[in-house]
Structure 1
Amino acid sequence: MDLSHTVKKSQDGLGRDITTDNCNNPIIRHKFTADPTAIVYRDTLYLYTGRDEAPEDQAKYVMNEWLCFSSQDLCTWTEHTNILKPVDFTWASGDAYASKVIQHEKKFLWYVAVTHRTIPGKAIGVAVSDNPDGPFTDAIGAALITNDMIGASPDSKDNLDPTVIIDDDGFGHMYWGNSQCYYARVKKSMTELDGPIHKIDLPGFTEGANIHRRNQWYYLSYGYGFPEKVAYVMSRKPEGPWEFKGILNEIPGNCMTNRPCMIEFKGRWYFIYHNGALPTGGSHRRSVCMDYLYYNEDDTIKRIIMTSEGVKAL
């Protein structure tokens, strides 16, 4: 694996943070990372990812933990250790799939997709912390969404890749799915659904939903087709109706999947995604990247240009 970045502070076995310098894509090089989500808190960007641990010759996802990195300049990244694992949910058996972190009042909530221990299929849980770099613990002691709630078959993987946004009225809105996109309103506690689960029919929807807001527009982006590009829809309301706006980025290099994250940081917008660009990388050994995101005058999004140079240090 490419370790060409500079290790400024090594881990000493006591779980202390590691700081690395890297201003090119992929932005994290000492571990395989995937499925990015991010928040901004106190002038710092916190990046959360899954960790790909599959052997080089194995075409199967092996994901046993989520990771957290933070940066104030988008070049120097600090890794925060021992953040969250699927087995931290007593009702889950494993699989650290795509997730979403939000800040809610004085808490930080982490919505994750895992395999349920007793209910067949994938499930969505929520963890909570007082700090953006954890540690996180199970917020409700049970799954928030399970296969039986959406009428899915026992072996279904429908409950993948949750994404959440809090509206001006304090209620949350959650989107997720695999082949079918689902939507549900969330109570102000952000740990309980507020009404029925609905289906959203989106062109080419595969997985990897992500919701963000700008200028009173809601943008729902997602993995489109397979191998996955990223497409998006727009709406004035979090519950829709949604208007399809087209493709945002093409199939990422050496990788069949795509999971976007859009975030504003220090006055600029960024597009975070993953590819298989590291040596020995691929669809099951992915790496998170970051490039610039630009809007048109009508608030639609310009096509994303994926680069090896990435973004400049702030």
Structure 2
Amino acid sequence: MRRLALTLLLAATPLAAEAPSPGSNPIIRDRFTADPAPVVIGDRLWLYTGHDEAGEGEMFNMREWLAYSTTDMRTWTYHGPIMKVADFAWAAKDAWAAQVIAKGGRYWLYAAVEHDATKPGKAIAVAVADRPEGPFTDAKGAALISNDMTPKGTHSWEDIDPTVFTDDDGTTWIAWGNRQCYIVRLGADMVSIDGPIREITPPHFEEGPWLHKRGGLYYLTYASLDRATHTDERVSYATATSLDGPWTYRGELTGSGEGSFTIHPGIAEFKGRWYLFLHNAALTIGERNGALGRRAVTVEHLSYDAQGLMRPVTQTAAGVTALSDADP
């Protein structure tokens, strides 16, 4: 009877949920992360993110940037906060989207922050480090780009979400924006601009631009919002044969992130395969659910057709643990 009772008890007891497979989405599960920015350095892929710390009733509370790295796209090493918004003495708050690139043997971080009252509005900061894990320090002592430099814009938070890209000729470019998308060449010192700021706003552009190049084609991928038909951001892209344009709109790359109004693309090739990083609001940590200010980074396989156009991406829980189009 005891054996029968034990058998019945075990049969009636729900099994514990299986632990998510390493590398499945979201890829970071112990804290809320957003605005992923990947970069390959040596044999590692580094991932820089914002840190969402919004409490109940808060929209965003972001005070620092985080770094992770991987060699296999399955397991991620946490390198801790690499910099805080307070490290920019002229910034008031908001450690928003950032991207890091390597150049000249150093590592350069470009980030969106809120400028203090001397130049109200969002601004682009630049920091530098001798190692990809930092520590990063203010490289200029002032904003690289401030709201007064883009006077045709419609609102004070248009100067956000920088993406940086070094072309085959060694020149480095920065693009950014909200509602309007801007681009300008960076100076050789990486802390100045070299030339006029140009607007290159593609259809339905909302924010979060990302520049990359494959073969002879340039790609401008971004968070898009067709306000006539959608309420949440999606990801769209345009292509060009020159950074001077013209840019050809190619449509949506993927839909909105689960539970999230915002989305933010980041693209990298690593060990012969391409990846699309995003964020959603599907993560729960303890009693805290995902929300507008509590997002979670995800990653999916990315592939191209014979014409070099990116194939549409379906967001999944499996992420890179699933077979890609490049697999046999």
Same-fold call, TM > 0.5? Answer: yes
Task: For 1:186 and 1:218, locate their aligned partners in 2 and report how far apart those are by CA, in whole Å.
Answer: 18
- Cα distance change of structure 1 residues 153 and 229 upon mapping to structure 2, 3 Å threshold: closer
Q: TM-score, normalised by structure 1?
A: 0.90
Give the structure 2 partner of residue 300 of structure 1.
309
User: Residue type of the partner of 2:233?
Assistant: E
Deviations 1:142-188 (A, max 9, x none): 10000111116796101010001112222211111111111111122
Higher strand share: 1
Give the structure 1 partner of residue 104 of structure 2.
105
Deviations 1:116-147 (A, max 9, x none): 11210000011101111111111111100001
Task: For 1:288 and 1:136, locate their aligned partners in 2 and report how far apart those are by CA, in whole Å.
Answer: 22
Structure of higher CA gyration radius? 2
Give the structure 1 partner of residue 114 of structure 2.
115
TM superposition shift of 1:22: 2.9
1:265 aligns to 2:274 (yes or no)? no
Give the structure 2 partner of residue 137 of structure 1.
137
SS in 1 for 2:86: helix
1:255 aligns to 2:255 (yes or no)? no
1:310 aligns to 2:310 (yes or no)? no
Task: For 2:168 and 2:258, locate their aligned partners in 1 and report how far apart those are by CA, in whole Å.
Answer: 38
1:162 aligns to 2:162 (yes or no)? yes
Is the CA contact (8 Å cut-off) linking 1:40 and 1:46 kept in structure 2?
yes
- Structure 1 unaligned spans of 5+: 7-20
Task: For 1:114 and 1:134, locate their aligned partners in 2 and report how far apart those are by CA, in whole Å.
Answer: 19
Task: For 1:154 and 1:144, locate their aligned partners in 2 and report how far apart those are by CA, in whole Å.
Answer: 20
Task: For 1:185 and 1:40, locate their aligned partners in 2 and report how far apart those are by CA, in whole Å.
Answer: 22
Percent of paired sites with the same residue: 45
CA RMSD of aligned residues (A): 2.0
- Cα distance change of structure 1 residues 41 and 138 upon mapping to structure 2, 3 Å threshold: same
Give the structure 2 partner of residue 240 of structure 1.
245
SS in 1 for 2:246: coil
Give the structure 2 partner of residue 36 of structure 1.
36
TM superposition shift of 1:239: 2.3
- Cα distance change of structure 1 residues 65 and 260 upon mapping to structure 2, 3 Å threshold: same
SS in 2 for 1:191: coil
Counting only pairs closer than 5 Å after superposition, residues 10-159 of structure 1 correspond to structure 2 as 22-55=22-55, 57-117=56-116, 118-151=118-151, 156-159=156-159
Q: TM-score, normalised by structure 2?
A: 0.87
SS in 1 for 2:149: helix
Task: For 1:191 and 1:38, locate their aligned partners in 2 and report how far apart those are by CA, in whole Å.
Answer: 21
Is the CA contact (8 Å cut-off) linking 1:274 and 1:289 kept in structure 2?
yes
Is the CA contact (8 Å cut-off) linking 1:255 and 1:283 kept in structure 2?
yes
